[in-house]
Structure 1
């Protein structure tokens, strides 16, 4: 019986190595990207709801972007604070700002997808670049970097939305590692030709892609996942590419406690249940192999299975996964997170298991 468990364990490890070395390796071992400016006309879209303090910082950074042809579409999603007032002052200050005022609608009350739809329709440029109100680019070449990946056929660009580093904070390392692993997954599957998601904190596409799938209409009633559900529907092998040049990164403040981050994870995991059948399968299968790895390893070591067989298998698994994630983390400027990889992986695996069962019995709160 122990031998059978060990053979299953080997199969799980082999499957994990296929994920890490072959699938995730498509991104992790890829060459660095060079930026070749395209100078396409761009509408930078910011949707804010009660983000007065954040937009005070963000809008001037966007206005100072070194790019010849862009506008900034500011969407106030029925804010109850000073966000709209601040937007109106910026509209007077910068000639390339377009303001969209969204009032509460009984059918779409507080729905970010409704607000974004109005903003996209108001945009005058052919290409759209999205950033959240609580984010910021670290380079004046952010627009240049993201739009450099557009071609005649590649009209959806997946970017990287990073979290700020907090010194001596282990929860910050967990959050940034999780974010890096998530990006590694959607970047890798996009390179393979099976794009399934992305990050709305840093995302670009040609406006026509939005209207090809009738915008958010297929999932308007789901008050989560405006970026991931849209991409799961619209992104294809032929129209999607990725951008991971450091000048293209955006940053936002990470959650400061485990409980607040867990709430965020609940929303992300909940959204995946509406993905296509294949995308749900590959995400859940990867998680199942992670969980099985720890469970089977614990059983075999507890029952004192021959350590001369166990140790090499475990070592090869960790060598392959650690190597891949190390290269990926280096590309995404998250290298310090992988030093804690074995510990963080265990925490992430069992947190996701807890989140999965929690979501079975209650829905997570929607985005604001």
Structure 2
């Protein structure tokens, strides 16, 4: 019996389109249609903002005042953990402590044994925090608005213990900045949409909140202390459920940091981040892997179908996915403040294909021991 390879290739192409369509219509459309829930009662609780820094004196000087000057009617403190810095971070914190009495610097002078990365300083900051609601960000981040704390805190209602926020990057000229912002947007599109579908799997430490009791009840980072990364995504992957997780996408609740300006440093940073993906729960690895696999095969099968089967039919099928993707991207990019990227989304979708080639090896590499 003769095997009709062109039909098989086209059928495989249609199957990848179907998989992609399911993801866009079942997961990603949820963020496109998302509207902020209304609460019958609004209550503002005391909040502890926790920031860990190592050799980030300039970032602390530039960004910490924006955190300390938040307009929040209830009590809030800022716990700044200075993790064995060799620069002037200590003196910056001492200087800022004079006008801002809600700043609580913690000086670490010894490296933790057997606990890699950022987990030890962050655990110390959480332990020393006075309040139940913890709001985490990084030293190189600043809030979009003076209402950042209020918006993130508002989501702790109806038994929620985790709030996922958006950590954006500054918009600057250049291709690398656009690619970094698109990767950040697409990651957020996934973790926000999965959370809305009742399958939360990660958050980003640039803008993340959870309850202290949740951290203590689950013994902190003890399950993955041996890894330098994962203080945000692996912890959330382990403790988040469909009942205890909320999202906040108000632009006033975003944080913003400066993107890398060199390809080599950005690639090293992303490779370090992706080494934690192999430790996600099986369900999450399957869902994320299936989407990436279908996307990766999509373009080679499209080209094969155009050449060997029927070019106009292949383009028509691809056009359906292209239109669906564009509608969802248009809405979600606007919601996450990345609307200027929309006109590039066909090229950025191709970049995403190349992205898999660049960073797939990171899933199999041993993580580096440093968190900076």
TM-score range, shorter chain: over 0.9
**Structure 2 length normalisation: TM-score?**
0.94
Helix, strand or coil: the match of 2:156?
coil
CA RMSD across the alignment: 1.7
The equivalent of 1:84 in structure 2 is 90
Farther off after superposition, 38-47 or 341-350: 341-350
After TM superposition, list the pairs within 5 Å mapping 1:119-138 onto structure 2.
119-138=125-144
* 2:163–2:209 contact (8 Å) kept in structure 1: yes
Is the 1:43–1:129 contact (alpha carbons within 8 Å) kept by the matching residues of 2?
yes
Q: Is residue 2:82 matched to residue 1:73?
A: no
Partner residue in 2 for 1:277? 282
Question: Which of the numbers 270, 295, 312 marks the counterpart of 1:290?
Answer: 295
> 2: CA distance between counterparts of 1:288 and 1:10?
14
Q: Is the 8 A contact 2:227 2:369 kept in 1?
A: no
| Residue from 257, 263, 267 that aligns with 2:262 | 257
How many pairs were matched up? 366
What's the secondary structure of 1:71's corresponding residue?
Answer: strand
Q: Does the alignment pair 1:40 with 2:45? A: yes
Which of the numbers 97, 101, 106 marks the counterpart of 1:95? 101
Please list every run of 5 or more consecutive structure 1 residues that lacks an aligned counterpart in the other structure: none
> What corresponds to 1:172 in structure 2?
177
Answer yes or no: is 1:313 the counterpart of 2:300: no
- Give the TM-score taking structure 1 as reference length: 0.95
Query: Residues 219-368 of structure 1: matches in 2 within 5 Å?
Result: 219-303=224-308, 305-357=309-361, 359-360=363-364, 363-364=367-368, 366-368=370-372
Take 2:223 and 2:65, find their aligned partners in 1: how far apart are those partners?
A: 35
Q: Does 1:64 align with 2:87?
A: no
Q: Which runs of 5+ in 2 are unaligned?
A: none
- Are the counterparts in 2 of residues 78 and 102 from structure 1 also a CA contact under 8 Å? yes
Pairing 1:153–2:173 present = no
Bigger mean CA deviation after superposition, 328-337 or 108-117: 108-117
Contact residue 166 and residue 172 of structure 1 kept, 8 A? yes
Aligned counterparts of 1:76 and 1:117: Cα–Cα separation in 2? 13
